[in-house]
Amino acid sequence: MKKRMTALLLSACMCAGLAGCGTNTPGNNPGHTKTDSSVTSLTDNITVTSVKTDITSFDQLKNGINEFSMNMYSALPADENIFYSPYSISSALSMLDVGANGATKKELENAEGAKGVFEAQGQLQIIFGTGIVNKVYDEFTALAGITGASKEEVKQAAASKAPWYQRAIKTLGDIFVPIIPAIVASGFLMGIMEALNFMVNNGFLNIDTSGSIYVFAQLFSNTAYTFLPILIAFSAAKVFGGNQFLGAVIGMIMIHPNLQNAWTVASEGVQTYQSVFGGLYKIPLVGYQGHVIPVIIAVWLMCQIEKRLHKVVPAMIDLFVTPLVSVFVTGYLTLAVIGPIFTTLEDGIINGVQTLIQLPFGIGSFIMGGLYAVTVVAGIHHMYTLIDLGQLAKFGFTYWLPLASAANVAQGGAAFAVALKSKNAKVKSMALPSALSACMGITEPAIFGVNLRYFKPFIGGLVGGACGALYASVTGLGATGTGVTGIFGILLHLHMPLQYLIMMAISFGVSFAVTWVIWTPEAEEAKA
């Protein structure tokens, strides 16, 4: 009953906000009646603020929603219609935000199960949290008699309207997110083995390093990074709509044993060169271990070739011709053109980032640590995996991940200050678990549900992140892997655990203190 009433509240609010948008007056519409009252009681403990209409029955509510839905459906262009999707709720509530008064918004904030209300880019977003939001959505669609789009359809619809650079960054995220567990597993194991080796070599620990567990663990620890191009190629092929196994073959070509291992070039130099395109020029026969951008570009090209061949090659020979041509042409162009060009580009990006981080007195890290949470809000933080992996391949550590960890923990410190200082029980119930989540590396609840809502805590988080990143840079703190920040990120810093803990303490403490000083709960909560 409770979840039904939550959905009913949302539906009623939507209708109330949209009441003045139609062409019919309340008196001319049999579904509406004039009233002098501004509040209609739906239950003993839930009220909905209305401007022009009273909703006196469930059928009246349902019919009103259905009528509005059909009118909106008719008004929208058929090729751009996303009304019958989860965005339906967002769109309706956005219009509610425009047409409703402050009291209606307060009703939404106080709805059972709602963790907060956040306004951004013309949208009114109600935060319910994982699991609850799905139940509310299901109840809403059932009450309104509408059907929803799949998650993939919604993602595609949203992506199609985004600028090209946002689509590019999203593509990187779609490629890297599925392989993060493999990277995290190897990163954790590398950190553990690094710490064990340190303790054994310095006499702090006496264990048999020739035992199978130790030897195998050492072997397993760098596997994901050794064969990283294959993982990236397999994932990229899926994102680009090609055959994943052909993509994996391209990744295998780029680290073929007949190619010189890229990690030996620094000590041994390039040993073999090969003429290409009939002697036009020579390329180094070096593998692409640890590289990211050349792999992604190569697989994209393969997918384009494969998809076009499927359209022109007769079905009876498609199985033989398409894979052969796709792999051969892509493989040749990868080694002859794509690899040399985009390796240079990637090295330039990594060196540029490293130069920024190594600016005197940690100035560069201070700036990036302060801006990191802003990039999370903008949704472009997925591209940082590329930087992490590039630095791991080039330096053996990623000096970027500690900056991210500092920024994430800082947002947790700001949310924790809000939780302690606020007198509102609902704000406390939202802020406290959000702070813990941020300290675990998941910042979205803290950023969107708490800190940005009051803004000053968000600023406090930025200051704390900048200070923590500054300390990380000054001490030369680096991670042995990527994918995990916050408390569990210490497993990637076991070679410098004390420095990592101090960095977390600085980030959390500074953001907490700044937020505590600049944020006044009574005034800010009244405005929110």
pLDDT tens digits, 380-404: 777 788 888 888 888 888 999 999 9
Q: CA 518, CA 67: separation in Å to the nearest integer? A: 48
H/E element holding 262?
A: none
pLDDT at 407 exceeding the cut of 50: yes
pLDDT at residue 508, as a whole number: 97
pLDDT at residue 201, as a whole number: 83
- 38-52, 264-278, 282-296, 344-358: least confidently modelled range: 38-52
Shared domain check, 366 and 341: no
**More confident position, 525 or 370:** 370
Shared domain check, 401 and 334: no
Span 374-384, average pLDDT: 79
Question: And the tokens for 216?
Answer: 């195998």
pLDDT at residue 256, as a whole number: 94
pLDDT at 487 exceeding the cut of 50: yes
- 119-128, 354-363, 378-387, 433-442: least confidently modelled range: 119-128
**Residues 518, 455 contacting (CB under 8 angstroms):** no
Single out the residue of 516, 433, 525 nearest to residue 115, CA to CA: 433
Shared domain check, 329 and 372: no
pLDDT at 33 exceeding the cut of 50: no
pLDDT at residue 181, as a whole number: 86
Q: CA 434, CA 269: separation in Å to the nearest integer? A: 50
pLDDT at residue 44, as a whole number: 44
- 324-333, 416-425, 459-468: least confidently modelled range: 416-425
Shared domain check, 521 and 393: yes
- Residue 219 is assigned to a structural domain of this protein: no
pLDDT at residue 2, as a whole number: 46
pLDDT band at 221 (very low <50, low <70, confident <90, very high): confident
Span 92-104, average pLDDT: 58
Q: Given the structure tokens 């900048």, which residue do they identify?
A: 466
pLDDT at residue 131, as a whole number: 61
pLDDT at 99 exceeding the cut of 60: no
pLDDT at residue 70, as a whole number: 64
**Residues 104, 17 contacting (CB under 8 angstroms):** yes
pLDDT at 197 exceeding the cut of 90: no
- Residue 203 is assigned to a structural domain of this protein: no
**Residues 411, 443 contacting (CB under 8 angstroms):** yes
**More confident position, 95 or 277:** 277
- Residue 206 is assigned to a structural domain of this protein: no
Shared domain check, 369 and 329: no
Q: CA 402, CA 404: separation in Å to the nearest integer? A: 5
Residues forming beta bridges with residue 118, ordered by sequence position: 125
Q: CA 508, CA 515: separation in Å to the nearest integer? A: 11
Shared domain check, 274 and 148: no
Helix, strand or coil, per DSSP, at residue 16? helix
Question: And the tokens for 517?
Answer: 């000083």
**More confident position, 504 or 105:** 504
pLDDT above 70: percentage of residues in the chain: 70
C-alpha distances out from residue 398 to 175, 211, 405, Å: 19, 30, 12
Among 18-22, 90-94, 168-172, 308-312, name the most confident range.
308-312
- Residue 457 is assigned to a structural domain of this protein: yes
- 98-107, 125-134, 188-197, 365-374: least confidently modelled range: 98-107
- Residue 429 is assigned to a structural domain of this protein: yes
3-state secondary structure 191-213: HHHHHHHHHHHCCCCCCCCCCHH
Span 288-299, average pLDDT: 92
Shared domain check, 373 and 297: no
Shared domain check, 134 and 52: yes
- Which of 288, 323, 350 is the C-terminal boundary of a domain? 350
- The amino acid sitting at 97 is D
User: Residues 486, 487, 492, 496: is their CA dihedral positive or negative?
Assistant: positive
Span 137-162, average pLDDT: 63
pLDDT at residue 399, as a whole number: 92
Shared domain check, 376 and 330: no
- Residue 191 is assigned to a structural domain of this protein: no
Q: Which residue range(s) make up the domain with 110?
A: 2-161
pLDDT at 21 exceeding the cut of 70: no
- 342-351, 378-387, 498-507: least confidently modelled range: 378-387
Q: Given the structure tokens 């397993």, which residue do they identify?
A: 220
Helix, strand or coil, per DSSP, at residue 57? coil
- Residue 201 is assigned to a structural domain of this protein: no
Cα 163 to its chain centre, rounded Å, is 17
Q: CA 125, CA 268: separation in Å to the nearest integer? A: 57
- Residue 216 is assigned to a structural domain of this protein: no
**Residues 100, 16 contacting (CB under 8 angstroms):** yes
C-alpha distances out from residue 158 to 85, 86, 374, 375, 383, Å: 11, 11, 21, 19, 19
pLDDT at 329 exceeding the cut of 90: yes
Shared domain check, 380 and 344: no
Helix, strand or coil, per DSSP, at residue 291? coil
- Which of 161, 193, 210 is the C-terminal boundary of a domain? 161
pLDDT above 90: percentage of residues in the chain: 35
Question: And the tokens for 390?
Answer: 């590039």
pLDDT at residue 136, as a whole number: 75
pLDDT at 60 exceeding the cut of 60: yes
Single out the residue of 423, 415, 422 nearest to residue 465, CA to CA: 415
**Residues 459, 447 contacting (CB under 8 angstroms):** no
Task: State the average pLDDT for the chain.
Answer: 79
> What DSSP string describes 209-249?
TTSHHHHHHHHHHTHHHHTHHHHHHHHHHHHTTS-HHHHHH
pLDDT at residue 163, as a whole number: 72
Looking at the structure of the chain, the number of domains it has is 3
Sequence-distant (≥ 6) Cβ neighbours of residue 522 within 8 angstroms:
423
pLDDT at 68 exceeding the cut of 70: no
- Which of 140, 161, 182 is the C-terminal boundary of a domain? 161
pLDDT at 477 exceeding the cut of 80: yes
pLDDT at 458 exceeding the cut of 60: yes
pLDDT band at 152 (very low <50, low <70, confident <90, very high): low
**More confident position, 301 or 491:** 301
pLDDT, tens only, 166-178: 778 788 888 988 8
- 17-31, 45-59, 180-194, 294-308: least confidently modelled range: 17-31
Helix, strand or coil, per DSSP, at residue 119? strand
Shared domain check, 424 and 388: yes
Shared domain check, 308 and 399: no
